[in-house]
Amino acid sequence: MKPNKAHFKTREVHAGVTPDPVTGAILTPIYQSTTYVQESVDQYLEKGYSYSRSGNPTVAALEERVNSLEGGSGALCFATGMAATSCTMMALLNAGEHAVLSDVVYGGTHRLSTRVLSRFGVEYSFVDTSDPKNVRDAIKDNTRLIFTETPANPTLKLTDIAGVSEIAKKAGIPHVVDNTFLTPFYQRPLELGADISLHSTTKYMDGHNVTVGGAIIAADPAHVEAISFVRNCLGSNMSPMVAFYTLQGCKTMSTRLEAQSARALKIAQFLETHPMVERVAYPGLESFPQYELAKSQASGFGAMLWFEVKGGVKSGKKLMDTLELWSLAENLGSVESLVTHSVTMTHADMDPAERKKVGITDGLVRLSCGLEDADDLIADLDQALGQL
Ligand SMILES: Cc1ncc(COP(=O)(O)O)c(C=O)c1O
């Protein structure tokens, strides 16, 4: 069976990779080479590669893999998730043009827009994309990009991908979805009408806290070509070593995500009943405000959740410092369970008033559930909550 026609879990292991024609090695080698010798001037690029900034066989194998998983017409991998976002925005926007973004996005995406690309004449509106009507109302004559993140980091607010994509299509504006939190295993934006799905591969695709990387998968080959051009100009490509690690890590992505999501639900249910917990947000809880949308546009709820403890910020900080098994760290999606204080860490550069307005409160404790035993993870939370 051709891997690209197979089920998701088969493609996750095999797509993009065939045994090495020279040695039979089952894994695509790390093509650690800057340049590629050409047969003759007239046969330039006959084998597909000239210089590793423009393309590399190990990276190409990962691109084929992620393209197969998202169902695109082409994919590109980058040095980081932020490189994927920067190159995409720079390919799709010119000076004097405008982009509509989710009001809750990863802090780095917010910083890139407001503090870097704004200096080059790009204008941004941050709107509550949980209601597609707000996106329609924010579109102006010069709007050339709609960029949503769902579930959003860190509040987990959801955007109706199909609803926003329909508005984007009618207006002729590309819709890019940051799909990092759910991965193509649980959510496939292109099938819901989006134009580009974007990832920080640093998270679930790697899954082991080993690499930083990024990817985009596009429905339209013209978008792949335009973004590839910018990637080559900026030199934001992924290294072959990172592609090799990511090719191995993503073989178990769906299996890890299923197991980590099961732990997240159990942990969310425990927190919901704890007397020291003020509120809990997890898309798989019926109490989650967008529970129905979570069920309808994704096949799983993911392994991210957040909560606030009674006693405000002081108690929240004490809890994070008292946890023993959960590591206080940035990043998410790894097999190690992590706790993050978004206000101090991932969203520190955002204006405090703006942060508060969109629900990133000072007491928000973000959890990325890993693969440790759920009972141990719960016991650690219980002991830390008990000390408040
Ligand atoms: C949703 C989301 N998108 C993009 C990024 C940026 O990815 P990277 O850190 O790989 O540059 C992050 C990083 O945390 C993220 O959480």
- Cis omega (within 30 of 0) on the bond before 19? no
Quote the distance between the C-alpha of residue 3 and its chain's center: 24
Q: Identify the domain boundary among 252, 274, 303.
A: 252
Residue finishing a domain among 183, 218, 252: 252
Centre of ligand 1 from the C-alpha of residue 81, in Å: 5
What is the domain count for the chain? 2
Q: Hey, what are 177's tokens?
A: 């979805």
Distance from Cα 27 to the centre of ligand 1, integer Å: 27
Position 384: which residue type? A
Q: Which residues contact 293 (CB under 8 A, 6 or more apart)?
A: 158, 160
**For ligand 1, atom 7: residue with the closest CA:** 81
Q: What is the pLDDT of residues 118-147, one digit of tens each?
A: 999 999 999 999 999 999 999 999 999 999
Per-residue pLDDT band at 312 (split at 50, 70, 90): confident
Alpha carbon dihedral 107, 197, 302, 299, in 10-degree steps, equals: 150
Residue 137 and residue 118 share a domain: yes
> Closest Cα partner for 333 from 211, 238, 248?
211
The verdict on 102 and 239 lying in the same domain is: yes
Instruction: Classify 174 as helix, strand or coil.
Output: coil
Phi-psi region of 122 (alpha: psi -120 to 50; beta: other; left: phi over 0): beta
Q: Are residues 360 and 311 in the same domain?
A: yes
Ligand 1: centre distance to CA 200 (Å): 5
Same domain, 186 and 68: yes
- On whether both 243 and 263 belong to a single domain, the answer is no
E strand or H helix at 101: strand 98-102
Q: Above 90 in pLDDT, residue 94?
A: yes
N- to C-terminal Cα separation, the chain: 57
Mutating to test ligand 1, I would choose from 180, 216, 234, 239 the residue with most ligand atoms within 8 A of its C-beta, which is: 180
pLDDT for residue 300: 98
Q: What average pLDDT score do residues 221-245 get?
A: 98
Domain limit, last residue, from 252, 275, 291: 252
Q: What count of Cα atoms within 13 Å lies in the side-chain half-sphere of residue 308?
A: 15
Ligand 1 lining (C-beta closer than 6 Å): 80-82, 106, 108, 149, 153, 178, 180, 200, 202, 212, 214
Report the CATH number at residue 157.
3.40.640.10
269 Cβ contact partners less than 8 Å away, ≥ 6 residues apart: 285
Q: Where do we find the tokens 């004449």?
A: 121
My answer on whether 124 and 188 are in the same domain is yes
Residue 264 has pLDDT above 70, yes or no: yes
pLDDT digits (tens, 9 = 90+) for 146-198: 999 999 999 999 999 999 999 999 999 999 999 999 999 999 999 999 999 99
Do residues 152 and 300 both lie within one domain?
Answer: no
**Where do we find the tokens 């100009």?**
233
Whether residue 258 sits in one domain with residue 137: no
Ligand 1 pocket: which of 149, 153, 236 to mutate (most atoms within 8 A of CB): 153
Highest mean pLDDT among 198-207, 313-322, 354-363: 198-207
Paired tokens of 377: 């993870």
* Bridge-based pairing state of the strands 98-102 and 143-149: parallel
Question: Are both 301 and 207 inside the same structural domain?
Answer: no
For the CA of 330, the closest atom of ligand 1 is 14
Tell me the per-residue pLDDT of 3-58, one tens digit each, with 9 for 90 and over: 567 999 999 999 999 999 999 999 999 999 999 999 999 999 999 999 999 999 99
Average pLDDT value over all residues in the chain: 97
In the chain, the percentage of residues whose pLDDT exceeds 90 is 95
Active-site amino acid positions: 53, 106, 178, 203
If you measure from the C-alpha of residue 340 to the centroid of ligand 1, how many angstroms do you get, rounded to a whole number? 14
Residue 4: predicted pLDDT: 65
- Domain check: are 118 and 239 in the same one? yes
- What is the Cβ-side half-sphere exposure of residue 117, based on CA atoms within 13 angstroms? 26
Probe residue for ligand 1, chosen from 77, 201, 202 as the CB with the greatest number of ligand atoms within 8 Å = 202
Pair 73, 107 in one domain: yes
Domain extent, residue 81, equals 3-252
Pair (210, 236) in one structural domain = yes
The helix or strand, by DSSP H or E, that contains position 367, with its residue range, turns out to be strand 365-368
Q: For residue 277, give the CATH number of its domain.
A: 3.90.1150.10
What pLDDT shows up at residue 1? 54
Strand order in the sheet with 327-328: 277-281, 304-309, 365-368, 338-341, 327-328
SS3 129: coil
Task: Give the list of residues 6+ apart from residue 35 with CB closer than 8 angstroms, or none.
Answer: 50, 51, 52
From ligand 1's centre to the CA of 387, what distance in Å? Answer: 33
What b/e readout covers 104-135, taking b as 16+ CB neighbours within 10 angstroms?
A: bbbbbbbbbbbeebeeeebbbbbbbbbebebb
Residue 266 has pLDDT above 60, yes or no: yes
